[in-house]
Amino acid sequence: MPQALVPVLISLRVAAAATLITLLVGLYLAHLLTRKRIRFGTFWDTLIMLPMVFPPSMTGYLLLLLLGRRGALGSLLSLFGVQIVFTWGAAVIAASLVSLPLMYQNCKVALAGVDPAYLKAARTLGMDEGMIFRRIILPLAAPGILSGLALSFARSLGEFGATLMVAGNLPGLTQTMPLALFSAVEGGRTNEAQLYLLVTIALSFVVIFIVGHAHRQSRAYREKGR
């Protein structure tokens, strides 16, 4: 395999893992904060959305303080012989954290957009809450969740600052496409840099296509609901 393709694969793997994590965490948090009455709801909401406006390198530094050898979490983990900083896992954590707001926001809008009339109807039909979530809420919110997935994946793919801080720029290990691009341009390897550019254009195109499709689908659900 050509050396230049290694960062592409690392990027795809990191972004896929981060997207899966944000899907589970983001959907759960969105469900919690839309359907249940949570104390200090606005505060939690703000906290989850913070990485959206926070400079990524700052987020990365924060993670470094937390997960580093002397950090609160890092020192605890090192007792068990686990080191997260400057590993593939750190890149996933960084990407997850910065893309969580996108996933959370999209899931929240999608869940809130499910007409409560359907939930009432489902209850009168004898369905329990778990079944209502799986068979009614999830399918009706699916277009919005899908758009959250696509945007979150794209954001993870483009993660640079936080990743560099907490995972470093280790070729073959934590060097994702944006980091490899930086090294390639700095080292004058134009062909390599342009390959990353082409791959990124193609992936971005797919992402925007999925978001547009999801948007049309959710509008169709809203219009035909009644």
List residues binding another protein (CB under 8 A). 115, 117-118, 120-128, 135-136, 139-140, 221, 224-226
Round to the nearest angstrom and report the end-to-end CA distance of the chain: 55
- 107 vs 140 by CB, closer to another protein: 140
- Least distance to another protein, CB of residue 140, Å: 6
- 81 vs 126 by CB, closer to another protein: 126
**Distance in angstroms (rounded) separating the CA atoms of residues 168 and 175:** 7
- Least distance to another protein, CB of residue 114, Å: 10
3-class DSSP string for 149-171: HHHHHHHHHCCCHHHHHHHCCCC
Contacts of 97 (CB under 8 A, 6+ apart): 51, 59, 63, 162
- Least distance to another protein, CB of residue 220, Å: 9
Contacts of 8 (CB under 8 A, 6+ apart): 177, 195, 196, 199
**Distance in angstroms (rounded) separating the CA atoms of residues 225 and 215:** 16
Any idea which residue has 């999925």 for tokens? 210
- Least distance to another protein, CB of residue 207, Å: 24
- Least distance to another protein, CB of residue 7, Å: 40
- 41 vs 225 by CB, closer to another protein: 225
- Cβ atoms of 196 and 132 closer than 8 Å: no
**Distance in angstroms (rounded) separating the CA atoms of residues 68 and 88:** 15
- 33 vs 141 by CB, closer to another protein: 141
- 32 vs 220 by CB, closer to another protein: 220
